[in-house]
Amino acid sequence: MLILALIMRNKQSEVLKDISENQLKRSVGLYIHSKENNLRNTLNDYTYWDETVDFVKTKDPEWAVANLEGSLNSFKFDAIYVFNTNYQEVYNKTNEQHPQLGKFPIKSDIFKILYKNRYVHSFYYHDTTLIEFLGSTIHPTNDPEKVTDPAGFMFYARVWDRELINEFAEVTSTQVKIIKNIPAKQPKEKVNDLTIYHPLNNYLDEPQAYLVFYKALEGYAVFSKFSRFFIIVMVIFCVLIIITLSYTANKYIYKPLVIIGESLKSNSIAKTEELQPYTLEFSEIGNLITQFLQQKKELEAAKEKAEESDRLKSAFLANMSHEIRSPLNGIIGFSELLKERQSDEKVHRYASYISGRSQDLLRIINDILDFSRIEAQQMEIQYTTIKIYPFFNELEATYSLNNENSEIKTKVIFRRGENISVNVDEFRLKQIFINLIDNALKFTENGTVEVGYQVAGSNIEFYVKDSGIGIPEDKLKIIFDRFRQINISASRQGGNGLGLAICKGIIDLMDGKIWVTSKENQGSTFYFSIPI
Ligand code: ADP
């Protein structure tokens, strides 16, 4: 646009200048021609007249004074010459101010041209004076077309003095001067200046001098000023548009695109949120990316969970086959031994071993069945109202053997509070306690296991506290997941990773909660609360 404006400006300047130049040339040409014409008409009047024809022969001085001299004064030219057909001067009258015109200065070959054309117009540059000559052949009155042979020749001469030059200057509104030659090296013209050279030729059409017209183009200067101002305004406008466009593009397009790229690269939802302040489209894209990243995260988490679950299931199956096979092997082995004759004491020992192993097996099978029931949502809770004391008494009796057994160094202590009544599934409540107490004993080599409760609003909150190996902080939540076993390498007697999952399943069914607090190497406390 700017380039177009510049081209247009130059083109307009050229056109404007051309118009001014042509106008000036035309008016100069017209004016010079009209000046010549005025004089030519007078000359013409005198040169087809019988009296002038006679004068060439008679040279009558009186006639010359009355006619020729008179026209010299009234038509304001500076010399008059009359020649006969032999080109001999018969009359000359010269203005006193220009005595140099006393002698006809032009070579005689001008007569040939004059003879041929009947009229001649020629400039002559003498010293520093420019003289205009008009020549005409002389004919009788009845030959205004000048077809007859000339009877003589008449010339008018006019000096182009300061007065005439000033007249030119005034008429053309220019500065005018006369120079002999156009300077070979012309001074460089200013854009809003106009100079034209008008040649002033002799009878052979050779330039004798030049009229120089100089004009300062004011309209052009105004145009030039205005167009420069217009272009500057346009440049500023374009620059402002470019700055605004690049600022807008950077702020509203480039930056959000960079954020989109970065958030996709870094999978960062926080980064995507930076798109919120942008336009509706970009904030929508931001929302889509956030959704996409969240779904991706969820899918990854679900995949991880599925893989973890798969791993746990495999570990569970491997562990379970071991857990089931070892009591079965014991049972089979000791049963084989019983077939043979044995002492009573050995029979008793083997039988109690077989019974113990069968109990283990039964427990495992029960766990599996319970777990399956919970998973299949088939477990039913049989509510009965029980008192805490008798319930604890029975539980205590189960573990009293433990306490008497000198091999098991960890003792189980029961703390009784208020002997309240609770509405629970007694069998399942016992199952929960056995699981928790067995675990506590399993992971406490030498210490105490404390079992107790307290009333918390409409709930009863039981606890089983041990002084065992504890559970790492990061595992506290996941131990309630099925198949989870944390302390695989710790000293322990088997386990299938179902105990706590079953406890949680039952407690959930009784509208309760289970949780644990623990410190590694200091012990754990399992709490569970159920509605009274
Ligand atoms: P398991 O039959 O393997 O004991 P559980 O579901 O009963 O299965 O327990 C899951 C895991 O929780 C255990 O393997 C053990 O790592 C951890 N755990 C449970 N109770 C305790 C406890 N009292 N002290 C330390 N770790 C425990």
Q: Is it the case that residue 201 has pLDDT exceeding 80?
A: yes
CA distance 495 to 514: 20
What pLDDT is attached to residue 279?
Answer: 76
The stretch 322-346 carries a mean pLDDT of 84
Quote the ligand 1 centre to 303 CA distance (angstroms). Answer: 26
What pLDDT is attached to residue 406?
Answer: 59
Dihedrals φ, ψ of 88, to 5°? -95, 135
CA distance 296 to 264: 11
Q: Is it the case that residue 329 has pLDDT exceeding 70?
A: yes
Quote the ligand 1 centre to 305 CA distance (angstroms). Answer: 20
CA-based max dimension of the chain:
199
Per-residue tokens: 454: 């307290």
The stretch 350-366 carries a mean pLDDT of 87
Quote the ligand 1 centre to 490 CA distance (angstroms). Answer: 10
Quote the ligand 1 centre to 499 CA distance (angstroms). Answer: 8
DSSP 484: -
Mean pLDDT for the chain?
87
Q: How confident is the model at residue 205 (pLDDT cuts 50, 70, 90)?
A: very high
Q: Is it the case that residue 437 has pLDDT exceeding 60?
A: yes
What pLDDT is attached to residue 492?
Answer: 47
Q: Which residues fall within 8 angstroms of residue 43, CB to CB, at 6 or more apart? A: 134, 136, 154, 156
CA distance 410 to 441: 7
Q: Which atom of ligand 1 is nearest to the CA of 502?
A: 6
pLDDT one-digit tens code per residue, 224-262: 777 788 888 888 998 999 999 999 888 888 888 888 888
Q: Is it the case that residue 431 has pLDDT exceeding 50?
A: yes
What pLDDT is attached to residue 493?
Answer: 56
Domains and CATH numbers, the chain: 1-31+217-378 (no CATH), 48-159 (3.30.450.20), 384-531 (3.30.565.10)
DSSP 472: -
Q: How confident is the model at residue 490 (pLDDT cuts 50, 70, 90)?
A: very low
Q: Which atom of ligand 1 is nearest to the CA of 526?
A: 23
As to burial, measured by CB atoms within 10 angstroms (0-12 exposed, 13-18 middle, 19+ buried), residue 4 is: exposed
Q: Is it the case that residue 162 has pLDDT exceeding 50?
A: yes
DSSP 510: T
Q: Is it the case that residue 40 has pLDDT exceeding 50?
A: yes
Quote the ligand 1 centre to 406 CA distance (angstroms). Answer: 24
Per-residue tokens: 430: 């016992």
Torsion, Cα 272 278 279 280, to 10 degrees, reads: 40
Q: Is it the case that residue 132 has pLDDT exceeding 50?
A: yes
Dihedrals φ, ψ of 503, to 5°? -55, -50
DSSP 479: G
Name the pTM for this structure: 0.47
Q: Which of these ranges, 141-145, 316-320, 381-385, has the smallest mean pLDDT?
A: 316-320
Quote the ligand 1 centre to 471 CA distance (angstroms). Answer: 9
Q: Which atom of ligand 1 is nearest to the CA of 486?
A: 16
Quote the ligand 1 centre to 486 CA distance (angstroms). Answer: 7
What pLDDT is attached to residue 317?
Answer: 76
Between 112 and 409, the higher pLDDT residue: 112
Q: Is it the case that residue 320 has pLDDT exceeding 80?
A: no
Q: Is it the case that residue 127 has pLDDT exceeding 90?
A: no
Quote the ligand 1 centre to 39 CA distance (angstroms). Answer: 139
Q: What count of Cα atoms within 13 Å lies in the side-chain half-sphere of residue 532?
A: 15
Q: How confident is the model at residue 189 (pLDDT cuts 50, 70, 90)?
A: low
Q: Which residues fall within 8 angstroms of residue 288, CB to CB, at 6 or more apart? A: none
Q: Is it the case that residue 304 has pLDDT exceeding 70?
A: yes
Between 191 and 214, the higher pLDDT residue: 214
CA distance 501 to 478: 10
- The binding-site residues of ligand 1, defined as CB within 6 angstroms of any ligand atom, are 435, 439-440, 443, 466, 468-469, 471, 479, 484-487, 495-501, 524
Q: Which atom of ligand 1 is nearest to the CA of 487?
A: 16
CA distance 511 to 507: 6
The stretch 98-115 carries a mean pLDDT of 92
Cβ distance 443 to 492 under 8 Å? yes
| Ligand 1, atom 11: closest residue by C-alpha | 485
Between 254 and 526, the higher pLDDT residue: 526
Q: Is it the case that residue 491 has pLDDT exceeding 50?
A: no
Pairing of strands 448-456, 411-414: parallel
Which of 195, 165, 172 has its CA nearest to residue 183?
195
| Ligand 1, atom 8: closest residue by C-alpha | 497
pLDDT one-digit tens code per residue, 366-401: 888 888 888 888 889 999 999 999 999 999 988 887
Between 359 and 220, the higher pLDDT residue: 359
Helical H runs in 340-459?
A: 344-375, 388-404, 426-442
High-pLDDT (> 70) share of the chain, %: 94
Which residue of 500, 502, 506, 520 sits with most ligand 1 atoms within 8 Å of its CB, as the best mutation to test the pocket? Answer: 500
Which residue of 485, 489, 506, 515 sits with most ligand 1 atoms within 8 Å of its CB, as the best mutation to test the pocket? Answer: 485
The stretch 102-122 carries a mean pLDDT of 94
Bridge partner residues of 154 (DSSP): 82, 136
pLDDT one-digit tens code per residue, 55-94: 999 999 999 998 898 888 888 899 999 999 999 999 999 9
Q: Is it the case that residue 276 has pLDDT exceeding 70?
A: yes
Which of 450, 430, 442, 529 has its CA nearest to residue 486?
442
CB count within 10 Å of CB 445 equals: 15
Cβ distance 444 to 466 under 8 Å? yes
Q: Is it the case that residue 117 has pLDDT exceeding 90?
A: yes
Q: Is it the case that residue 107 has pLDDT exceeding 80?
A: yes
CA distance 40 to 43: 5
Quote the ligand 1 centre to 52 CA distance (angstroms). Answer: 155
CB count within 10 Å of CB 107 equals: 10
